């Protein structure tokens, strides 16, 4: 009896952190958990209306069959086991040997097992700064760069700087809706206010300055807006924001004293023939010295782009126009977590600095191959989705996702509501149970009230993607008939 009494009074749902209870992370949420169950049942021989689960829920390229870039793996193996330079030199390019040597020279004891400086290995930060200068045509400094366990941890650390611990002035973060669920999860965890600003689905998900003002005005009575986040190219929405729209956002932020957080992890995933990625940093610098006080944090990652090295957990942040005293505080904050993984840091170096010797040709053909294949799939997904009656999908200008709007019949909406789930959740669960296709309900990303969407990745291999889109079309028609 004593045990039961105690169990109730110790750490439990009623006395645990309410913010953690509040958090949602749909990309790994209930639909995905159900997909894993179905996979297990399939393996155990249970008969299902499908032969395999197709996971299009998460931007996890290698899990969907994408191959790593050889150079990255060579450099990591050599950094971890430098003796291979002597025992198996023929297995490695000189470029890889040189890069691993260069990095090892700048870590303690020349070992990947040493803690690195908290902002990251100086060689890696130098490579990042060179990449950014080259990309934008404006100088970048390694002292403005810090690396992290994926871009996610960098984003969280920047958000942490903005928190207040005062219930009377809750910090607010302006987040684009639809958003990537990291942002809603973090604002929930940090007990901060998520200020939704809606992207304009009817204008290819552009950001309307008037909508920014509306969102800001409505929010300022209930919180202190601290920062505006922008995801470009968009996740889940796939737009590539044109420079003139970036100017609008910077001016808006400047006017209201907001930090800009530019989530630019898809900067090399650009699909439109006439499209080009333009960074917030470049646009900011082009606006002249009046904006030299406008702080901007920009994020990049090895998990996306052409590498897709999600499991290595490498990301970085460039801090532009940050107050030097705040940078000292950030340094202290990240010091308490010591450093991020050395293999992730090596991967960052390989992403931002291509080899130029004997590994150059293969690196080029592999990266171009990955990007060309993703582009082909993005075109197919966009085309096929729009062929399905009751589904509309904007152009996929960048990133790795489609976020189509779906019409859900009234009967299905009512049935979903009677089950206490959102209509798009109901749709996605039916889709999974009937076809094995695993996508994420739009509600997990938030969406304009009354609209319904789902997010799918463009990552399944071409032959699987074709089947996927056929099955989806068939399902959608049947769903409409069933509930129409």
What is the footprint of a copy of itself within residues 451-470 (CB under 8 A)? none
Q: How many residues bind a copy of itself (CB under 8 A)?
A: 104
Site for a copy of itself in 59-88 (CB under 8 A): 60-66, 68, 73-74, 76-77, 80-81, 84, 87-88
Identify the residue among 115, 417, 474, 484 touching a copy of itself (CB under 8 A).
115
Nearer Cβ to a copy of itself (76/128): 76
**Nearest residue (CB) to a copy of itself, 404 versus 436:** 436
**Judged by CB, which is closer to a copy of itself: 313, or 382?**
313
Among positions 220-279, residues that touch a copy of itself (CB under 8 A) are: 226, 254, 257, 259
Question: Which tokens sit at 208?
Answer: 């309307």
Q: Which is nearer to a copy of itself, 337 or 356 (CB)?
A: 337
Given a contact cutoff of 8 angstroms between Cβ atoms, the answer to whether 232 and 202 are in contact is no
The DSSP line for 419-484 is: TTS-HHHHHHHHHHHHH-EE-EEGGGG--STT--BEEEES-S-HHHHHHHHHHHHHHHHHHHHHH-
Any residues with CB less than 8 A from the CB of 384 and at least 6 apart, and which? 469, 473
Dist. CA 125–CA 130, nearest whole Å: 9
Conformational region of residue 142, where left means phi above 0, alpha means psi within -120 to 50, and beta covers everything else: alpha
10 Å Cβ neighbour count for 380? 16
Least Å distance, CB 9 to a copy of itself, is: 5
Q: Are 476 and 412 in contact (CB under 8 A)?
A: no
The CA distance from 479 to 384, in Å, is 18
Q: Which stretch binds a copy of itself (CB under 8 A): 5-13, 45-53, 370-378, 463-471?
A: 5-13
Q: Which stretch binds a copy of itself (CB under 8 A): 1-9, 231-239, 244-252, 443-451?
A: 1-9
| 7-36 residues near a copy of itself, rule: CB under 8 A | 7, 9-13, 16-21, 23-25, 27-28
Which lies closer to a copy of itself via its Cβ, residue 308 or residue 404?
Answer: 308
**According to CB under 8 A, which residues from 358 to 387 bind a copy of itself?**
none
Structure tokens at 282: 């470049």
Q: Report the C-alpha gap between 74 and 99 in whole angstroms.
A: 10
21 versus 410: smaller Cβ distance to a copy of itself: 21
Q: Is 449 in the site for a copy of itself (CB under 8 A)?
A: no
């Amino acid at each position: 009896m004593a045990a039961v009494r105690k169990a109730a009074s110790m750490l439990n749902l009623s006395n645990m952190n309410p913010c953690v209870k509040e958090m949602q992370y749909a990309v790994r949420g209930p639909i995905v958990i159900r997909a894993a169950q179905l996979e297990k049942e399939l393996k155990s021989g249970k008969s299902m209306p499908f032969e395999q689960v197709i996971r299009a829920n998460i931007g996890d390229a290698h899990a969907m069959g994408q191959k790593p870039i050889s150079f990255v793996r060579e450099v990591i193996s050599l950094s971890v086991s430098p003796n291979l330079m002597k025992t198996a030199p023929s297995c490695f390019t000189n470029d890889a040997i040189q890069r691993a040597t260069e990095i090892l020279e700048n870590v303690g004891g020349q070992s990947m097992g040493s803690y690195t400086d908290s902002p990251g290995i100086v060689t890696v930060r130098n490579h990042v700064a060179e990449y950014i200068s080259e990309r934008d045509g404006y100088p970048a400094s390694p002292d403005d760069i810090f690396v992290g366990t994926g871009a996610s941890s960098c984003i969280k650390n920047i958000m942490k700087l903005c928190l207040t611990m005062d219930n009377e002035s809750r910090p607010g973060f302006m987040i684009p809706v639809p958003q990537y669920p990291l942002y809603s999860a973090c604002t929930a965890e940090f007990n901060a206010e998520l200020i939704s600003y809606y992207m304009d689905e009817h204008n290819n998900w552009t950001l309307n300055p008037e909508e920014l003002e509306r969102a800001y005005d409505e929010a300022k009575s209930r919180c202190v807006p601290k920062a505006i986040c922008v995801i470009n190219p968009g996740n889940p929405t796939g737009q590539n924001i044109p420079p003139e729209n970036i100017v609008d956002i910077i001016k808006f932020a400047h006017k209201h004293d907001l930090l800009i957080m530019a989530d630019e992890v898809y900067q090399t995933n650009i699909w439109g023939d006439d499209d080009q990625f333009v960074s917030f940093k470049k646009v900011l610098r082009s606006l002249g010295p009046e904006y030299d006080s406008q702080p901007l944090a920009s994020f990049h990652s090895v998990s996306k782009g052409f590498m897709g090295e999600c499991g290595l957990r490498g990301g970085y942040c460039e801090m532009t126009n940050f107050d030097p005293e705040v940078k000292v505080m950030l340094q202290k904050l990240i010091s308490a977590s010591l450093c991020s993984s050395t293999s992730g840091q090596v991967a960052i170096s390989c992403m931002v600095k291509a080899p130029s010797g004997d590994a150059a040709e293969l690196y080029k053909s592999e990266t171009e191959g990955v990007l060309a294949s993703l582009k082909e799939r993005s075109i197919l997904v966009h085309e096929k989705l729009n062929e399905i009656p009751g589904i509309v999908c904007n152009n996929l200008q960048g990133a790795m996702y489609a976020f189509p709007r779906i019409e859900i019949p009234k009967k299905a909406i009512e049935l979903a509501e009677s089950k206490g789930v959102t209509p798009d959740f109901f749709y996605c669960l039916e889709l999974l149970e009937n076809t094995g296709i695993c996508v994420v309900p739009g509600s997990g990303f938030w969406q304009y009230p009354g609209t319904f969407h789902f997010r799918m990745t463009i990552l399944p291999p071409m032959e699987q993607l074709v089947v996927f889109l056929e099955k989806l079309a068939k399902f959608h028609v049947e769903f409409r008939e069933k509930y129409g």
